[in-house]
Structure 1
Amino acid sequence: MKHIHFILNSIAGKGNNNLDLKLINKYFDKSDYHVVIKPTFYKKHAIKLTQASITEEADIVVACGGDGTINEVASCLVSTSIPLGIIPLGSGNGLTSNLNIPKNIESALEIIKNNTIKKIDVGLLNQHYFFSNSGIGFDAQVIKHYEASRKRTLSSYIKATIKSLKKTDILTEVETTFNNTTLLHKPFLIFISNSNQMGYNVSLTPKASLIDGKLDILIAPKLNTLKIALFTILMFFKKHHILKEVEIHQTKEIKITQNNKQLFQIQLDGEFLMIKGNSIQISVLEKAINVIA
């Protein structure tokens, strides 16, 4: 008998999420599967629940929520043999869009039932894993304002974007080191991606791959007001790369250093995070997690 554990964030996305045990048993028969549903009640609770599931020798752990919930669950499963299943209940759903996992619960359950395993790369920022993307500068501020909003909708995301445009001086001069080259930047944003989706069908790195063993890096310098507005508009149409100021690179690792500050404001898979210190190290772990997709 296989043990399958569902880690459920009931307030992800629009909230009021629920898993019907009868529906789950339709796909996972009681004679073959022991089903456990574990609801989360606070931020980072999914980490504790997943760690407990590992101790309980779960055969499959399913993250039911948005990118933040998926990150918490998946971070515990890196370098283990336990596959990650996903039921996307969030608003953005960046990673699941890249994996072509549908938002329809029954369709997602069907994928988990079929149990086709894909090994994907994992990003590592200092000691923090990410599976879709991370960034500093403008995008981190967007997530900061988005988290402060009460609703997890596209309109809230657009409002957070507009609010972030009013303050674009979060980063001072930074030094980036990658591919044996060190450069100085005064960036508008530095975006590091493992996936070709950010969520809401928005992408800064449409050519990124979960299985190529590389991270896609987008660096945009500080721009004037008109260029920032143009960049933002083009971003929603995946055409931002036509701006000559925008740099796109691929690398296995990158170090970012800021000499005048001891704190980084970062977004990590759509969650706002502050990291102390004047430098961060980002790298890729090749095929480090098993995902059902």
Structure 2
Amino acid sequence: MPNDKKMEKREALMIVNPVSGTRSKRGLEELVVSRLAMSGVTVRTLYTEGSGDASRFAEQAVAHDYDMVISAGGDGTVNEIAGVLSHTSTKLGILPLGSGNGFARSLGIPQDVEEALKVIAEGYSLRCDRGVVNGLPFYCTFGVGFDAAVSEKFSKMKRRGRITYVKSVFREFLNYQPEPYALSIGGSVLTEKAFLIAVCNAPQYGNNAYIAPHAKLSDGMLDITVVHSGSPLSTVLVGVDLLTGYIDRNTLIDTFRVSAATITRLGCGPVHIDGEPMTLGTNLEISCDPSSLSVYAPEKEAEFKPIVSPLRAMIDDFRYDVKAKFR
């Protein structure tokens, strides 16, 4: 992956989303300040109270020439901050404190806060692409169909976390009806009744659900996964392959690697951008904006291996959860 030089400036703004995920953020500010001080980084902290706050705070950081902005939240918080930092010299650091943390996981950033802080302190950064749909940026995934419907339901739940998300998936699966779409790529058009269409800058949604296992964050391309309409059993098996990393081998799946594409549907409706639900129109114009964001990440990129990589990630998650309970 292309990379930047190690950080020279040592000023950081940490933006904390206090309601993201399920992990407590008690003592977070003190921990971050003390750990990064050892690397010569001074940290100022701001807390969001609603949508748009993270973007506004990030704009302040860019205006005041901060070296980095640290996102302490989930993919929605990352999206707001990254949207401001893209095409600037201010770098993004991530403390994965959301429900899925798809972008952080795809970068190889540990889910444990102290280990994630080590990544920031080491100062290695790389340039990542982003996707754009109808002018709106996404850094992990964009989707229509079933996953958009689940995101909409999940956003209305009072509780967050993996268990709540799984409940949303099962409830929506029982009633969901696939819809027709036209996917246009380089002059060719695929018309299909699809369960979902996912446009991926990163390989996974989050929670180690690999919707595009071989997607790369810095290849200048987007990976599109089309899950066609099938029987309830065959669709459930797609879900199994999603967790093992073998989804691209499933017979219900078509995959494409593109720099641009258009999705057309019958009318406006729900979509999700990095897991956040919203409503967009009939025509969805998608493109890749290459090397647009500088983000701190582990210097060594781990090779993805089906079954092995998801299993290793699950073990790490269990270890971090146990550590958090006894901290």
TM-score range, shorter chain: over 0.9
Q: Following TM superposition, by how much is the alpha carbon of 1:233 offset from its aligned partner in structure 2, in angstroms?
A: 3.0
Aligned to 2:216: 209
Specify whether residues 114 and 198 from structure 1 end up closer, same or farther in structure 2 by C-alpha distance, changes over 3 A only. Answer: same
**Alignment check: 8 A CA contact 1:6 1:38 kept:** yes
Give percent identity, aligned residues only: 28
Aligned to 1:199: 206
The one-character-per-residue Cα deviations of 1:235-260 (angstroms, maximum 9, x if unpaired) are 233333333231011111110112x3
Report the Cα distance in structure 2 between the residues aligned to 1:211 and 1:287, rounded to whole angstroms. 6
Aligned to 2:230: 223
**Alignment check: 8 A CA contact 1:4 1:58 kept:** yes
Aligned to 2:282: 278
154-163 vs 206-215, greater mean Cα deviation: 154-163
Q: Following TM superposition, by how much is the alpha carbon of 1:210 offset from its aligned partner in structure 2, in angstroms?
A: 0.5
Matched, 1:288 2:297: no
Q: TM-score of the superposition, structure 1-length normalised?
A: 0.92
Say which structure is richer in helix.
2
Aligned to 2:262: 255
Q: How many residues align?
A: 289
**Alignment check: 8 A CA contact 1:7 1:40 kept:** yes
Aligned to 2:148: 140
Specify whether residues 230 and 110 from structure 1 end up closer, same or farther in structure 2 by C-alpha distance, changes over 3 A only. Answer: closer
Aligned to 1:107: 115
Q: Following TM superposition, by how much is the alpha carbon of 1:16 offset from its aligned partner in structure 2, in angstroms?
A: 3.7
224-233 vs 114-123, greater mean Cα deviation: 224-233
Aligned to 2:311: none
Q: Which runs of 4+ in 1 moved over 6 A?
A: none
**Alignment check: 8 A CA contact 2:199 2:225 kept:** yes
Report the Cα distance in structure 2 between the residues aligned to 1:129 and 1:19, rounded to whole angstroms. 32
Aligned to 2:63: 55
Specify whether residues 59 and 167 from structure 1 end up closer, same or farther in structure 2 by C-alpha distance, changes over 3 A only. Answer: same
Report the Cα distance in structure 2 between the residues aligned to 1:73 and 1:11, rounded to whole angstroms. 16
The one-character-per-residue Cα deviations of 1:181-204 (angstroms, maximum 9, x if unpaired) are 112111111011011121111111
**Alignment check: 8 A CA contact 1:87 1:109 kept:** yes
TM-align CA RMSD? 1.9
**Alignment check: 8 A CA contact 1:10 1:18 kept:** no
The one-character-per-residue Cα deviations of 1:210-269 (angstroms, maximum 9, x if unpaired) are 0111111111222222322232233233333333231011111110112x31x1311111
Report the Cα distance in structure 1 between the residues aligned to 2:195 and 2:120, rounded to whole angstroms. 40
Q: How does 1:96-245 map to 2 (within 5 A)?
A: 96-169=104-177, 171=179, 173-245=180-252
Q: TM-score of the superposition, structure 2-length normalised?
A: 0.83
Q: Following TM superposition, by how much is the alpha carbon of 1:148 offset from its aligned partner in structure 2, in angstroms?
A: 1.9
Letter in 2 for 1:290: S
**Alignment check: 8 A CA contact 1:9 1:17 kept:** no
Q: Which runs of 5+ in 2 are unaligned?
A: 1-8, 298-327
Q: Following TM superposition, by how much is the alpha carbon of 1:21 offset from its aligned partner in structure 2, in angstroms?
A: 4.3
**SS, match of residue 186 in structure 1:** strand
